Amino acid sequence: MKLVECVPNFSEGRDRDKIQAITKEIESTPGVKLLDVDPGESTNRTVVTFIGPPEAVLEAAFKAIGKAAEVIDMGRHKGAHSRIGATDVCPFVPLSEVTMDDCVQLAHALGKRVAAELGIPVYFYEEAALKPERRNLAAIRAGEYEGLPGLTIKVPGKFTHLKAVGWYIEDYGIAQLSINFTNYKVTPVHAVFDEVVRLAEMLGLRVTGSELVGLIPKEALLAAGRYYLDKQRKSPGVPEEELIRTAVLSLGLSDIVPFDPKKKIIENQVEQPKKRLIGMSLREFADELSMDSPAPGGGSAAALCGALSASLSSMVANLTVGKKGYEKAWKDLKQAAGRAQKLKDACLASVDLDTAAFNKLMDAYRLPKASEEQIKERDEAVRSAAMEATLVPFDVLDKSVELLKLAKKVAQKGNRNSVSDAGVAGQAGRAAAAGAYYNIRINLPSIEDREFRSRITKQAVRLKKRALRLADEINKMVEKELKKM
């Protein structure tokens, strides 16, 4: 599904009725979801975040801009933040199945409509700029609303893809920097935060924390979490939730108001497919597995074994990183722990994917076959579903080889006190490989495509042999180490 994020900034942060009148236009647009409304008293500015398909987002943005022009009197507006109109900026951000070029086209289409139908002057900046001198937003805002027209180019600072302005807030007795990141991948949030801390210390000041206005991409916080764990000489190969917790604490994101990842991270606001099985408790999953229904079954169990193998390998790596006597292995095991976390998440996803694929195949077999057309549709549905039911465990088998390589690595280089855990990682990886292989074999006969059957069979046999060989090697290594104890 095509999804675009829009983050317009309106020059009103005090009058709640006016803010609500603007956001009502967004909420009333079909297909659009309003995610966040963040008004600022001292800046007299509100940052709004919403998402939806490109066409719906464009419509909502147009309606909001029109309402803002109607209710906001720029002749009487005063605030600490630079601004150039009732709607100061209206950026589009690609989220799903949409590129930055698509967002540029969206911006140009919106600007053309705003100018033509509302009679409001429009400027394009950053990626959407039509002239080089208009790319820098600070240059466009020079002189602000009262100084239109006029452009001045400001001297660039240490970072690119970033705009910043500072002011003193009497109500709180603190100074504040307002920073706009236009590309967190080039200019990471944590790098800027640390530089602000360094500069503040040079002035005898202390940075107490930070506040996120609007929403943030998950990867920006994950990168910050990895960065700060690495600075602490800890392994960044931990679950996403721990990386986010580390980022929030290190950036002081809860200094002013509590930071809620469910509300402030973009991806958490987008509807996700329900993960029925991995959302269960251990007891619930085991009970569900034990029932007389064919799914979940061996395929889901094999995927779970893969996730357990990855978790144990990550655990051993994390128990080694930072421990004296293992310094030479730290770098290698940090990478191993990070990769193990990704494999863990992928295998957990396959727990539900395997059951969903089986259910889809059963649904295909139940399709009517009263006519030639129905028979043809049923056969095609069965063929497609059978392939999917085969490819899910095939992916688990493929990943099990890497899982076992990781288990071998932590068995070789990891903390000796955790060698038994590395051994269990190897055994769980073996179970994942063998279990996935069985599920491939049982699904293949229902597929008429001989070329597909032959190719998958050969690859599966090869992968299983590699996996079992690795598992045997790990077992010998672990037995050897245990005999020394």
Q: Confidence band (pLDDT; 50, 70, 90) for 67?
A: very high
Q: What gap in Å lies between CA 29 and CA 180, rounded to an integer?
A: 27
Region for residue 83 given its phi and psi (left: phi exceeds 0; alpha: psi -120 to 50; beta: otherwise): beta
30, two tokens? 């079909």
Residue 362 reports pLDDT greater than 90: yes
Active-site amino acid positions: 81, 354
The pLDDT value recorded for residue 148 is 47
Q: Which of 29, 37, 31 is nearest to 10 (CA)?
A: 37
pLDDT in tens, 425-459: 999 999 999 999 999 999 998 888 899 999 999 99
481: how many CB neighbours lie within 10 A of its CB?
A: 16
The pLDDT value recorded for residue 167 is 79
Q: Confidence band (pLDDT; 50, 70, 90) for 80?
A: low
Domains of the chain plus CATH, in order, are 1-155 (3.30.990.10), 156-270 (3.30.70.670), 282-484 (1.20.120.680)
Distances (CA, A) of 272 to 224, 352, 365: 24, 13, 28
Q: What are phi and psi of 205, to 5 degrees?
A: -110, 165
The pLDDT value recorded for residue 169 is 75
